[in-house]
Amino acid sequence: MEPNDADSATAPPPELSVVVPCFNEREVLPELYGRLRKACEQAGVTYEIIFIDDGSRDGTPNEIKRLSQEDSTVRGVLLSRNFGHQAAVSAGYDHARGRAVLVMDADLQHPPELIPEFLAQWRAGYDVVYAYRRNVPARWGYRMHNWLCNVTIPREAADFRLLDRVVVEALRRMPERNRFVRGLVAWLGFRQIGIPYDQAERVAGRPSYSLRKHLNIRFDSVFSFSTVPLRISVYLGLVTLVLGIIYAAYILAVLLIRGRAAVEPGWPALIITVLVLGGVQLLCLGMVAEYVGRVYEEVKQRPLYVVRELTEG
Ligand code: UDP
Ligand code: MG
């Protein structure tokens, strides 16, 4: 996977690569392209725009092909099927050639007009410039994540960020399959700075991120950055063990004092014990399974994404 080499021999790398993952975004692409181009020209940088088609079913690939034929600064990376947003972003980082790489959503919720600000901070010496949404209280997800994990993800940081080439290369060397890019970038360190922005409404199309996908991302982010859930299962086990010992002591005491078993609590105590124990055991098993599953994913060493076609002008 060395897409950078062949190209860099022919043309000097642009200053800025703009990477846009697209999943069923045909309707917004023309407007996005227009505003992106304008923003880049006004910022006065040499640039390339890389559209990653993440297995769209609405003609997005044709639109990308058309744009890349018309404009030599546009390149398209068409994936063989839908691999998910994070994989598409990774494909973008692999194919970008710029000295800095900016990732943004296709739906224009991330305003391209912010590009000069990104560049200003980058030129001021920051390696990671991430945009965060103004006036949004941190959701429980971030709090929980930062509480559980050792890396602190800046609150409400979006997948709208500029990375210096050095950081991109460091990120590409991180081998994990479960890629929660926001977390990986936070883990990497470097000089980071946030810039606020106002999130616009989606211009057209529908958000493709369902609740299930959001939950998946949350799970990925916690289980790939933290072993705290494993420790929680240990604590849960300890608590149930202590409760069990207390209850056993009570039963034995009654047996010794009265000379026969305490029958009063009867089946309620029994059923509660069985249910609670069963629940705790399943929960802990599930947590271990999460990690086993992740280990399995990593061990398989499958590629993160498969490219079907590269389009260039
Ligand atoms: N996206 C993608 N693959 C997917 C889902 C989404 O490449 O499987 C892209 C999508 O085209 C958009 C970005 O990821 O550019 C964010 O998606 P969306 O706007 O649906 O998410 P939200 O704004 O709700 O977080
Ligand atoms: Mg969106």
Atom number, ligand 1, closest to the C-alpha of residue 207: 20
Atom number, ligand 1, closest to the C-alpha of residue 25: 11
Residue type, 240: T
Please give the pLDDT value at position 244: 84
C-alpha distances in angstroms, 164 versus 101, 121, 227? 6, 11, 30
Q: Give SS3 for 21.
A: strand
CATH 3.40.50.1820 fits 6-225+303-312, yes or no: no
| Per-position pLDDT tens, the chain of length 313 | 445 444 444 678 899 999 999 999 888 899 999 999 999 998 889 999 999 999 999 889 999 999 999 988 999 999 999 998 889 999 999 999 999 999 999 988 888 999 999 999 999 999 999 888 876 655 666 666 666 766 666 666 678 899 999 999 998 888 777 777 778 888 888 888 888 888 776 666 666 666 777 777 777 777 777 777 778 888 888 888 888 888 888 888 888 888 777 666 677 778 888 888 888 888 888 888 888 888 887 888 888 899 998 888 6
Please give the pLDDT value at position 258: 83
Going from N- to C-terminal start, the domains of the chain cover: 6-225+303-312, 228-300
- Shortest CA distance to 122 belongs to which of 162, 171, 167, 169? 162
Ligand 1: lining residues by beta carbon, under 6 Å: 21-23, 25, 54, 82, 84-85, 88, 105-107, 109, 207-209
Please give the pLDDT value at position 175: 76
198 Cα distance to chain centroid: 21
Q: For residue 301, is it left (φ>0), alpha (ψ between -120 and 50) or beta?
A: left
Atom number, ligand 1, closest to the C-alpha of residue 20: 15
Distance 207 CA to ligand 1 centre (A): 7
Please give the pLDDT value at position 6: 47
Residue type, 13: P
Task: Name the closest-CA residue to atom 12, ligand 1.
Answer: 105
Please give the pLDDT value at position 280: 82
Please give the pLDDT value at position 140: 67
Distance 84 CA to ligand 1 centre (A): 8
Question: E strands, 153-301, where?
Answer: 157-164, 192-197
Cα–Cα dist 299/97, whole Å = 29
